[in-house]
Structure 1
């Protein structure tokens, strides 16, 4: 069996980078239910467009996703190796793929009676988290407040969005960050492919002359510019973190070409573990980028050598009964069987309240 729940409500702040901006949350929760009543949970997020109504979401799920799930063992769905062929090589109309992986692995770990991170082989229960602002469109005041609060909460590093057409603005933000968090902890930057290789090299040199030692630069050039990534990496001015926008085949090419110091992965459980094994073979560090409600902590704990998980202060917490604990800049795996998240019984009501409050604010402002 399955259950689908649609959520739509305004964000509590603008979220974006040098390429994109979003002010609303559109999410569908997918719950896969086995014969024993256990529920595997996954989240399908549409970042830049409104999801259709619940009936249309269910129609698409029934047509495109459910035939491949119905009657299958979670272990078979999680571990099967298949070769996609012909017209089957296509994305679903709605972004169900990652949510299905989350739900299937959640259900499999519950059936084994263990937390997912333990089932994946983890020998630790916590990993350092860095504060990521998704801050490109924030005012200077909101930017400083967000990172100042993150520093007080003990986050182990800080990543800001850069790639503004005016490089002076990026430098200004780095100056503001240092004022807000101090000079002791690592600073990362993410232009989201805004630069070419020479622009990235020039920017890093300017930042360093201004006293900003950058711990890593993430996706500085377009994802398929392997030569550009290698050019930046050869200079040794900072670590190159790449791979966020590449599928597993692209990540393999990145590793084979020695074009990154760190491989960035996300939250499709099976794909993340495969990418982690590939990175280990090439002796390349893995970093866990944004994953919905930090589900990726399970893989971060299990993959050897992962030192960082991204945390970006998005208002999702009311969707689940309990989030992953974060203390002194460390995020902990859940003791619950499965990946650790359960849909909150009051999630729909909370979302309606947030949407109503947002509408009231808009009317007042008008």
Structure 2
């Protein structure tokens, strides 16, 4: 059915804990729901998100979307749009003024799958309905006590793989965090680290060697050096043969292709842009490079993870987003389960629309208490 209208609902609320890494820190959520509606009333849902600065007022988001995006969607069929290939030229080669790209892909794929009455992962060619999830703390700014409590809880509910943030100016702090993690998770657990580009290539080699010599085995190190240092990444891959390089998170579709062509990663990290993920996932499969799904809003990435070959891991970070939808993605005993409902299976909660919508931008001090995080005990939120 042709697209006939869109709805945007702006949300802004406090996080239940400070999240971040060696480069960034955030303690609030700035997101808007994008709903694309067909003439038959079928709704496709995506989310527009900014990490560090509030979105403009809802009226401004709607005006920008109507001007920059809607003319290319109105009257079109979602199932045709998801496969469309554009060749931008000149002034047409530019980003939207607001971060609509991922939300648009997710909403269109949600609609396309609903129109053929299939779960999204089935439409994408899934081989299974679940994928292993690893516990990721986004923990750089947590105290040692909060860090230990978070990962201890993750271990207690069935996680067997854990990723922590490193890259502190004081390297002894990174080593202390690894020691602390070892104390609170079961022996034999898998461990990943993520410096978020904090190191140079030579520095990364020295610090990874020191981590190994301190008795810590790593499944992978994620984004150890600058994203475009393809030569450094390739050299590091060969130098640290006791672990793997996971990279690509910060690169767009073209950048990921160049990364693969330069043999700069052992594992390709992708996120929530459905069309982009499937396209680069095809190339990664051709080259025999495994793919991991990094954080995706409300774990929508489980659908791509279930569909792509050689995807073993999906990142889960215990963020307090679940109240935005009626039925969140199920995560149980260290696995994320792809819903068997048509589309991606997420429907915007009318309670959230009524109680948490914030049409106008608020100051951080005006946000009030954080929404309850149903996946964490109260003392960890």
TM band (smaller chain): over 0.9
Counterpart of 2:26 (choices 1, 19, 22) is 22
Question: For each residue in 1:130-164, what CA deviation from the matched residue of structure 2 results, as whole angstroms up to 9, or x when unmatched?
Answer: 00111100111111111110111111310001000
Tell me by how many angstroms 1:356 deviates: 3.3
**Helix, strand or coil at the partner of 2:184:** helix
- Aligned equivalents of 1:87 and 1:311: distance in 2? 38
Look up the SS of the partner of 1:100 in the other structure.
helix
Query: Is 1:276 matched with 2:281?
Result: yes
Aligned counterpart, 1:254: 259
Map 1:69-80 to 2 at 5 A.
69-80=73-84
Cross-structure match for 1:143? 147
Q: Distance in 2 between matches of 1:110 and 1:148?
A: 39
SS in 2 for 1:189: strand
Q: Separation in 2 of the partners of 1:172 and 1:303? A: 36
User: What is the CA–CA distance in structure 1 between the aligned matches of 2:70 and 2:36, rounded to whole Å?
Assistant: 10
* Cα shift at 1:82: 1.0
Aligned residue for 1:323?
A: 328
Alignment of 1:232-311 (within 5 A): 232-235=236-239, 236-311=241-316
Q: Which digits, 9 at most, give the CA deviation of each residue in 1:181-203, with x for residues without a partner? A: 13311100000000011111111
State yes or no: 1:35 paired with 2:47.
no
| Secondary structure class of the residue paired with 2:108 | helix
- C-alpha contact (below 8 Å) 2:14/2:368 kept by paired residues: no
- Structure 1 residue runs of 5 or longer lacking an equivalent are 360-366
User: Mean alpha-carbon deviation: is it higher for 215-224 or for 244-253?
Assistant: 244-253
- What residue is the counterpart of 1:185 in the other structure? 189
Tell me the distance in 2 between the aligned counterparts of 1:252 and 1:68: 27
Q: What corresponds to 2:361 in structure 1?
A: none
4+ runs deviating over 4 angstroms:
none
Q: Does 1:194 align with 2:198?
A: yes
Distance in 1 between residues matched to 2:62 and 2:79, nearest whole Å: 24
Structure 2: unaligned runs, 5 residues or longer? 359-365, 372-381
* 1:57 CA displacement: 1.0
Given that residues 10 and 357 in structure 2 are in contact (C-alpha distance below 8 angstroms), is that contact kept between their aligned partners in structure 1? no
For normalisation by structure 2, the TM-score amounts to 0.92
Q: Structure 1 237/198 Cα, relative in aligned 2: closer, same or farther at 3 Å?
A: farther
Q: For residues 86 and 79 of structure 1, what CA distance do their matches in structure 2 show?
A: 22
RMSD: 1.4
Q: 1:336 to 1:358 in 2, by over 3 A?
A: closer
- Matched residue, 1:207: 211
> 1:277-333, CA deviations, whole angstroms, 9 ceiling, x for partnerless residues?
010011000000010000010000000110000001110000000111112101101
Checking the alignment, whether the CA contact within 8 Å between 1:128 and 1:156 is kept in structure 2 is: no
**Whole-angstrom CA distance in 1 between matches of 2:357 and 2:275:** 34
Counterpart secondary structure, 2:192: strand
Shift of 1:349: 4.2
Residue 125 in structure 1 maps to residue 129 in structure 2: yes
Q: How many angstroms apart in 1 are the aligned matches of 2:278 and 2:211?
A: 35
1:168 alignment partner in structure 2 = 172
SS in 1 for 2:336: strand
Shift of 1:350: 4.3
Find out whether 1:356 has 2:368 as its counterpart: yes
**CA distance in 2: counterparts of 1:63 and 1:110, whole angstroms:** 27
Higher relative contact order (CA 8 A, sep 6+): 2
Identify the structure with the greater helix proportion: 1
Instruction: Identify the residue that residue 65 of structure 1 maps to in structure 2.
Output: 69
* Count, aligned residues: 359
Residues 204 and 237 in structure 1, CA contact (< 8 A), matched pair in contact too: no
Counterparts of 1:220 and 1:305, CA distance in 2: 22
Counterpart of 2:350?
345
Moved more, 273-282 or 349-358: 349-358
What does residue 2 of structure 1 align with? 6
Using a 3 Å threshold, how does the CA distance of structure 1 residues 320 and 358 change in structure 2: closer, same or farther? Answer: closer
Distance in 1 of aligned mates of 2:317 and 2:261: 30
Residues 1:156 and 2:180 are matched in the alignment: no
Residue 13 of structure 1, CA deviation? 0.4
- How much does 1:242 deviate? 0.5
